[in-house]
Structure 1
Amino acid sequence: MSPMALRSLNLPGVGTKYEFETDKGDTVAIFFTKAGTIQMYTLQKGCHTPSAAEMTPVEARRLGNILTGAIIEADQESVEIAFSALADLRVTIHSYIIPRAIAGKTIEDLGIRAKTGTTVIAVSRNDKNIINPPPSFVFETGDAVLVIGESDQLRLFEREIMVD
């Protein structure tokens, strides 16, 4: 196999194997098993025993994000993402529950973007999701909202908008 050429092989009853060789002669193989796990094998040039790791789909996506430079750090209600191609950019997405004090007001009434620099990217209400709600969207008590911005912008959002 030539370096960096990707080869795939369907293994009946097992799953699908993808394999490539690096420029230095190391081999990387990924198996997507019928059981739903992902197995990754690496074999260094000149070695006879591969190293292996078995991952869940979530773990495999995390590894993919790391390898592509989309680093994700999560806590309970927020996710911070750093992109290697945009060296200094760290974006945070945080979820909030709308308090009674701002129910009945629109995104525009609250001046969310103008006051804080953040953007409401989704709202969940009664098991329905509204993606990219318009400025005229009216909040109701208990709405779950996703807000995106830099960490300091989200702190400002919490101080200026999420008052109870």
Structure 2
Amino acid sequence: MALRSLKLPGVGTKYEFKTEKGDTVAIFFTSTGTIQMYTLQKGCQASSAAEMTPVEARRLGNILTGAIIEADQESVEIAFSALADLRVTIHTFYIPKMNAGKTIEDLQIRAKTGATVIAVCRQDKNIINPPPSFAFEEGDAALVIGESDQIKKFESEILVK
């Protein structure tokens, strides 16, 4: 089950290995930025192929390593099997006018919901790990992390009043 890699000028890099059953799996990181995956079952002549964006390839990698991700519009749920089946939800919320000018501390986000704001995108600028004194503006995209029920509480307690 040795992994072989080969640089292909003008194409990209190919990684290939054979499974214990004799099937072949090949991954191409193309020079255009896409990732192609090919599988060839032992004894078959035709391979199957899938072309993915880098985001899709990372999602597949997470699935294969046990960090299951379930995406739902602006939300992602990740299950970490190595951490007693810990499930964490990350959701993007757009800040409404009624919360403009209020800080994370004013809104008592963690105390009321248990969720945490881990990033805010404002006019194409990302603010990572904003402090409690961070004041929201209408239309900010807030990235919030927590358990599923904490995310629901954030939506009902903070955004809808």
Does the 8 A contact of 2:40 with 2:48 survive in 1?
Answer: no
Counterpart check, 1:75 vs 2:72: yes
RMSD over aligned CA atoms reads 2.1
TM-score, structure 1 as length reference:
0.84
Counterpart check, 1:56 vs 2:49: no
Cα deviation, residue 35, structure 1: 4.1
Cα deviation, residue 122, structure 1: 0.9
Cα deviation, residue 48, structure 1: 4.5
Rate the CA distance shift 1:52–1:87 in 2: closer, same or farther, 3 A: farther
Provide the secondary structure at the position in 2 that maps to 1:67.
Answer: helix
Q: Percent identity?
A: 79
Amino acid at match of 1:109: D
Rate the CA distance shift 1:76–1:19 in 2: closer, same or farther, 3 A: same
Provide the secondary structure at the position in 1 that maps to 2:28.
Answer: strand
The corresponding residue for 1:129 is: 126
How many residues are paired up? 160
Larger deviation, residues 136-145 vs 26-35: 26-35
The correspondence for 2:138, drawn from 128, 138, 141, is 141
Amino acid at match of 1:15: G
Provide the secondary structure at the position in 2 that maps to 1:161.
Answer: helix
Larger deviation, residues 118-127 vs 34-43: 34-43
Gaps of 5+ in 1: none
Does the 8 A contact of 1:20 with 1:29 survive in 2?
Answer: yes
Counterpart check, 1:42 vs 2:52: no
Counterpart check, 1:116 vs 2:106: no
Q: Deviations over 1:87-115 (max 9, x none)?
A: 43221111222223332222122211111
Larger deviation, residues 152-161 vs 33-42: 33-42
Gaps of 5+ in 2: none
Counterpart check, 1:153 vs 2:161: no
